[in-house]
């Protein structure tokens, strides 16, 4: 199975490359920033040069606060590029996997968000990600829009790596405690997507006309459980054996340019049915990889 990986050098893209060792049936071609997905002609050349059964788009503009002052740049990557990519993949007959965010929701609910809940993003980043979702749904190639949240991994800059770096040099750190979400291991997400792609192929081998896999579907993936950023930071310090106290602070006192949802926990029941095993808790995922617990750079 030939697979095209876009955004391969970001956090999620690196996780896909790491996990791919367990899927030797995939022949992967990976592109990072050298392939600008906001240039439809460049992407078209790649897709026309070779057929790909699956295209996984990890490229994203995810600077939430900066998006407030660079809305056009965010829209170009998170929305317009997704529309063009969906059109190209549909023409070719492949399967497209694209990622969205819990920030498409306003955070006013008091229970985990379902795929059927009405999105209402509070910031430009969420608005552009929702526009990308809607564009892919309108084009409707075979594919998945996977909403996920609060990704952490050993790769690139993310909440885990930043907390460990700060914890190695400070005695205390202030972390927001009034935002609640679903911390998610990006390695677990990559594993789940590969499992789903394999499951889809097996399903189609048995029933080529299986309608569920010939349109765009929206699903959620997140590790089980919920936490505030402060709770997540506290667990990171504990597992890393860092003597750094986490001091809870409100979002208002912390001060950010973009509004965030106060509650954005995702319900992943739907995607669980496609996976070979249960989705684990974020605490288990955080402590489950030796890569997370290597000594931080001091």
- At 15, phi and psi to the nearest 5? -65, -40
147 sits in which H/E element? strand 143-148
Q: Is 249 part of a structural domain of the chain?
A: no
CA distance 187 to 192: 9
Q: Is 197 part of a structural domain of the chain?
A: yes
Q: Are 18 and 187 in contact (CB under 8 A)?
A: yes
Percent of the chain with pLDDT over 90: 86
Nearest C-alpha neighbor of 143 from the set 200, 213, 73: 213
Q: How far is CA 15 from CA 155, 166, 236, in A?
A: 8, 23, 19
The first and second tokens of residue 59, run together, are 């490229």
Q: Is 104 part of a structural domain of the chain?
A: yes
How many CB atoms sit inside 10 A of residue 212's CB? 11
CA distance 283 to 226: 10
Q: Is 32 part of a structural domain of the chain?
A: yes
> Which residues does 219 contact at the CB level (< 8 Å), separation at least 6?
115, 144, 145, 146, 147, 268, 270, 271
Query: What CATH number is associated with residue 100?
Result: 3.40.50.720
What pLDDT band is residue 290 in, cutting at 50, 70 and 90? low
Q: Is 233 part of a structural domain of the chain?
A: no
The per-residue DSSP string of 225-251 comes to S-EEHHHHHHHHHHHHT---EEEEE-H
Q: Is 62 part of a structural domain of the chain?
A: yes
Domain count, the chain: 1
Predicted pLDDT of residue 207: 80
Predicted pLDDT of residue 182: 96
Tell me the per-residue pLDDT of 44-93, one tens digit each, with 9 for 90 and over. 999 988 899 999 999 999 999 999 999 999 999 999 999 999 999 999 99
The first and second tokens of residue 100, run together, are 């969205």
- Tokens 């089980």 locate to 224
Catalytic residue among 103, 113, 125, 263: 125
Q: Is 162 part of a structural domain of the chain?
A: no
Q: Is 176 part of a structural domain of the chain?
A: no
Catalytic-residue membership of 125 = yes
CA distance 231 to 175: 9
Tell me the per-residue pLDDT of 125-163, one tens digit each, with 9 for 90 and over. 999 999 999 999 999 999 999 999 999 999 999 999 999
Domain containing residue 121: 2-156+183-224+264-279
- Tokens 């399903």 locate to 203
């Amino acid at each position: 199975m030939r697979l095209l990986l876009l955004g391969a050098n970001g956090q999620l893209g690196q996780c896909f490359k790491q996990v791919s060792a367990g899927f030797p049936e995939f022949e992967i071609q990976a592109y990072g920033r050298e392939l600008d997905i906001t240039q439809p002609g460049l992407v078209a050349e790649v897709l026309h040069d070779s057929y790909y059964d699956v295209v996984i788009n990890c490229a994203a503009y995810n600077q939430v606060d900066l998006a407030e002052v660079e809305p056009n740049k965010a829209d170009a990557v998170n929305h317009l590029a997704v529309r063009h990519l969906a059109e190209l993949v549909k023409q070719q007959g492949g399967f497209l996997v694209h990622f969205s965010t819990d920030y498409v929701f306003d955070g006013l609910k008091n229970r985990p968000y379902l795929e059927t809940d009405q999105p209402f993003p509070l910031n430009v980043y969420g608005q552009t990600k929702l526009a990308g979702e809607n564009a892919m749904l309108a084009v409707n190639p075979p594919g998945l829009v996977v909403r996920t949240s609060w990704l952490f991994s050993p790769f690139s800059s993310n909440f885990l790596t930043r907390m460990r770096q700060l914890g190695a040099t400070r005695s205390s750190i202030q972390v927001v405690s009034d935002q609640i979400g679903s911390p998610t291991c990006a390695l677990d997400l990559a594993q789940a997507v590969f499992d789903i792609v394999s499951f889809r192929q097996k399903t189609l081998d048995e029933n080529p006309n299986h309608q569920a896999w010939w349109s765009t579907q929206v699903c959620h993936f997140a590790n089980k459980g919920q936490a505030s950023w402060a709770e997540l930071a506290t667990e990171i310090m504990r597992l890393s054996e860092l003597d750094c106290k986490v001091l809870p602070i409100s979002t208002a006192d912390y001060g950010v340019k973009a509004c965030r949802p106060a509650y954005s926990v995702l319900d992943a029941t739907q995607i669980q049915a496609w996976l070979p095993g249960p989705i684990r808790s974020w605490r288990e995922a955080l402590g489950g990889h030796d890569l997370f617990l290597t000594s931080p750079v001091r």
